[in-house]
Amino acid sequence: MSGHSKWSSIKRQKGVTDAKRGQLFTKLTREIIIAVREGGSNPESNFRLRLAIQKARDSNMPLDNIERAIKRGSGELEGASLVEMTFEGYGPGGAAILVQALTDNRNRTLPDVRNIFSRGGGSLGESGCVAWLFESRGLITVKAGSMDAEELALQAIDAGAEDVKVADDYVEIYTNPEELASVRGALEQKGIALVSTELAMLAKTIVELDEKAAAQMLRLLDKLEELDEVQHVATNADFPDTVLEKQA
């Protein structure tokens, strides 16, 4: 989980996720639409939709936007047909990269992703080449603030978390995917403010990168996340602290 945690820290420091709020809302809208199409418009019986709505609210997405996205997913409003695509490949230093996308145009998204890989010193691979290196986990991020991070970690374990990692002023809480909602609810009942809740693909093993490869990898990951169609990017890269300090 080291690679994910370090990269998460970098994104928080750089404000990558919220740098383009319009782009962020586009990604959130697409996630809601596909969740509705897969499991229906009732969040009580559709966990993926419930999670997507909560993530949208956590990102201060207007309620009107959320409701329109649900209606587009259910067919009440017209919208482009979205399909899910997964891309697998390798970045600088041989680290694995897993890209999950939602797109209305496969013929546009595939060349865009391939171009970013090749320009970034990586290569797009065949289906299945790196997916086995990752596993789905629930991830809740909490900002410790005035709370003691270690005490917060203990409360998370009590709430049912499988693992906890303290990174700077943040606590990353890992759960089984099926228990994500219940752990989140238990933490909220304790009055703990949550930064984000998501289903994430976490690496089972990591690949240590030298400074040059790590810097190249970070640029590649940033370019991938800048694509509107890309929803999630995972890597098993482990970044040297010297590189992290330059990103702070």
Residue 59, pLDDT > 90, answer no
Between these two residues, 227 and 18, which has the higher pLDDT value?
Answer: 227
Angle of CA points 90, 107, 217, to nearest 5°? 20
CATH architecture of 14-74: Orthogonal Bundle (1.10)
- Please give the distance of CA 14 from its chain centroid, rounded to a whole number: 15
CATH tag for 133-203 (out of 3.30.70.980, 3.90.320.10, 3.30.1360.10, 1.10.150.80):
3.30.70.980
Nearest to 140 by CA among 172, 99, 96: 172
CB atoms near residue 119 (< 10 Å) = 11
Q: Do domains 84-124+206-247 and 133-203 have the same CATH topology?
A: yes
Query: Bridge partners of 138?
Result: 175, 199
Phi, psi (rounded to 5 degrees) for 110: -60, -50
Supply the pTM of this predicted model. 0.84
CATH code for the domain defined by 84-124+206-247 = 3.30.70.980
pLDDT at residue 183 in the model: 92
pLDDT tens string 96-154: 999 999 998 999 999 999 999 999 999 999 999 999 999 999 999 888 777 787 888 88
Domain ranges of the chain: 14-74, 84-124+206-247, 133-203
Return the structure tokens found at 213. 């490869």
